[in-house]
Amino acid sequence: MKTKAKSMYADLFAEFKHLPFLFIGAGISRRYLGLPNWKGLLRQFAEKVYPDNPLALEVFSRSEEGLNWPEVSSRIEQEFNNVWLTNKAYRRDREFFQDQVKQGVSPFKLAVARFFSEAEKQTADGHLLDELSCLTNVGKRSIAGVITTNYDQLIEEVFSGYKVFVGQEQLLFSEPQGIAEVYKIHGCCTQPESIVINEKDYEAFNKRNAYLAAKLLTVFMEHPIIFLGYSISDPNVQAILKAIADCLSQENLRRLKKRFIFIEYSDSPLEVPIIREHTINFDGAGRSLEMTRVELHDYLPLYSELLSRRYEYNPKLLRQLKRDIYQMITTNEPVDRFQVIDIEDDQLENVKVLAGVGIKQESGPNGESGHHIPNTAVLFRDVVFDDGEFDLKSLVEEALGHLLKHNSYSLPLHKYISAYEKEFGEKAPSDVSNHAKHSIDEFLSQGLKTRRNSHPINSFEELKKLSESDEKVIESIPLLTNLEACEGELQGFLSSYMEKNPTALTESGQVLKTNLKRVIKIYDWLKYGKEKGAPIT
């Protein structure tokens, strides 16, 4: 029957001229992470306000008029914040998050963010793990991108390497390329302030919905959209579709009919999916949107059929190329980018197209980077993974001095100084060695030193427990009192984080890039600089 189901999906997707975008809702996180729905989430937080009351949620949701969940969230948030700010049970959280709270971040959102950031795969079910593995492979070359209202990081894990846009505002004021991207339109647990959950959040979101719809219109018009993890009546979906409908004539809405696929999960086992047409009527608009509605119990045949449809080239590489061409055209400046050879699952002899933007730099006979001025992101990555192929003499004698001038004289230097002095038996040039650090404190601002003294963290394990996200870990690593003993833990954390977020050094926000580079420089000193033998004089 799985073969028949896959065949039905093949017929359904037969007219797709472009790879689809996935529009992913909470049902997917519930399936693979065991996370609650909105009601379940609010019940948990209501019980934190009234821990001894089995009807804690009903305290907030009872109303003659009937409340919606954003209104209930607002009520819970108000009382939860009072508890968080005064109850001794939250003393340690208050100390750790005081800066964010002083900046106006709601304690409720901080707690919600931590809840979702700690979510891990909760299933040992072999079939669900097979589904998730197949979906991960789908992300490599079989979809164009993802839109989601989820706060958790399952999508970042499954679609590793996609550029992530968090919140409406970031998407509205960025230049997305429409390929290998994730649009987290309701925020993310890595940025608690971005989370859309209460009544005020939704009012602000809905005010900008028309702008968001206009931004996404190209995606909706050019790509099939497959909705996963939503109910057909979900107000979030209805609101976005209504905003899209407001931008289009009824004739153009009809063109979307075969390209909007709404997947709904059935608790009852189904031998084959139930496929039928569905119409959404927009009240007061006088228009409707037709789509295909699919009811299923098993996602594996769906994912398998998606997997059979692939880009010939890696979407992440195509996105980089598209972005670089866009930058060159709009700024008339060449891009500062190293060469990329994509060998994810193609042999080199099968490559059919070579495209370049800017000026090709010199390469050695084996393709190593023999250019004089490497990209600084490559240096930072090399410190963690030891995978850079530089001409050491050229790098230390010519490139690093130049790069230091353009990077506030702050780069990971110890690996290269150590290797240079060992190989050539002479001191590294003074324009490089004079900028090498001699202690961890030299990497820290006065503000970080003050925070470390007033709110010390005594172990890496304690730090991870206190942090609601990997990004928070990166920010707080300088607060560790035993940082000099954490070389191994730092290496493990950095390599894991950068494998999951390969563009973190180039495409993240400025704050994250600064924090991550600081931690890599500290690791560089711990591994290659601290007590590694006296430098050559």
Is the separation of the CB atoms in 223 and 18 below 8 Å? Answer: yes
Contact 127, 300 (CB under 8 A): yes
Report residue 522 as tokens: 């500290």
Structure tokens at 284: 């007061």
Q: What counts of helices (H) and strands (E) characterise the chain? A: 27, 8
Q: Say how far residue 105 (Cα) sits from the centre of its chain.
A: 20
Burial class (CB in 10 A: 0-12, 13-18, 19+), 379: buried
Distance CA 241, CA 280 (A): 9
- How crowded is the C-beta side of 513, counted as CA atoms within 13 Å? 13
Rounded to 5°, the CA angle 510-183-341 comes to 70
- How do strand 260-265 and strand 287-296 relate by DSSP bridges? parallel
**Residue reference for tokens 């003993």:** 485
Could you give the 3-state DSSP secondary structure of residue 358? coil
Q: Rounded distance, CA 44 to CA 50, Å?
A: 10
CA distance readout (Å), 24 to 29, 155, 335, 484:
9, 9, 33, 42
Q: Give the phi and the psi of residue 85 in degrees, each rounded to 5.
A: -80, -15
**Burial per residue of 201-225, b for 16 or more beta-carbon CB atoms within 10 angstroms, e otherwise:** bbeebeeebeebbebbeebbeebbb
23: part of which helix (H) or strand (E)? strand 21-24
Q: What are phi and psi of 493, to 5 degrees?
A: -65, -45
* Per-residue b or e along 364-377, where b marks 16 or more CB atoms closer than 10 Å to that residue's CB: eeeeebbbeebbbb
Domain limits, the chain: 2-34+122-307, 38-117, 313-360, 362-537
- C-alpha closest to that of 442 among 537, 531, 536, 525: 525
Q: Which residues of the chain have pLDDT under 50?
A: 336-352, 354, 357-371, 533-537
Q: What is the 3-state secondary structure (H, E, C) of 363-431?
A: ECCCCCECCCCCCHHHHHHHHHHCCCCECHHHHHHHHHHHHHHCCCCCCCCHHHHHHHHHHHCCCCCHH
Can you give 464-512 as a three-state secondary structure string?
A: HHHCCCHHHHHHHHHHECCHHHCHHHHHHHHHHHHHHCCCHHHHCCHHH
Give the tens place of pLDDT for each residue, 23-66. Answer: 999 999 999 999 999 999 999 999 999 999 999 999 998 865 66
Specify the pLDDT at position 363: 47
CA dihedral 88, 92, 94, 97 (to 10 degrees): -160
Q: Does domain 2-34+122-307 have CATH number 3.40.50?
A: yes
Let me know: does 354 contact 375? Beta carbons within 8 Å: no
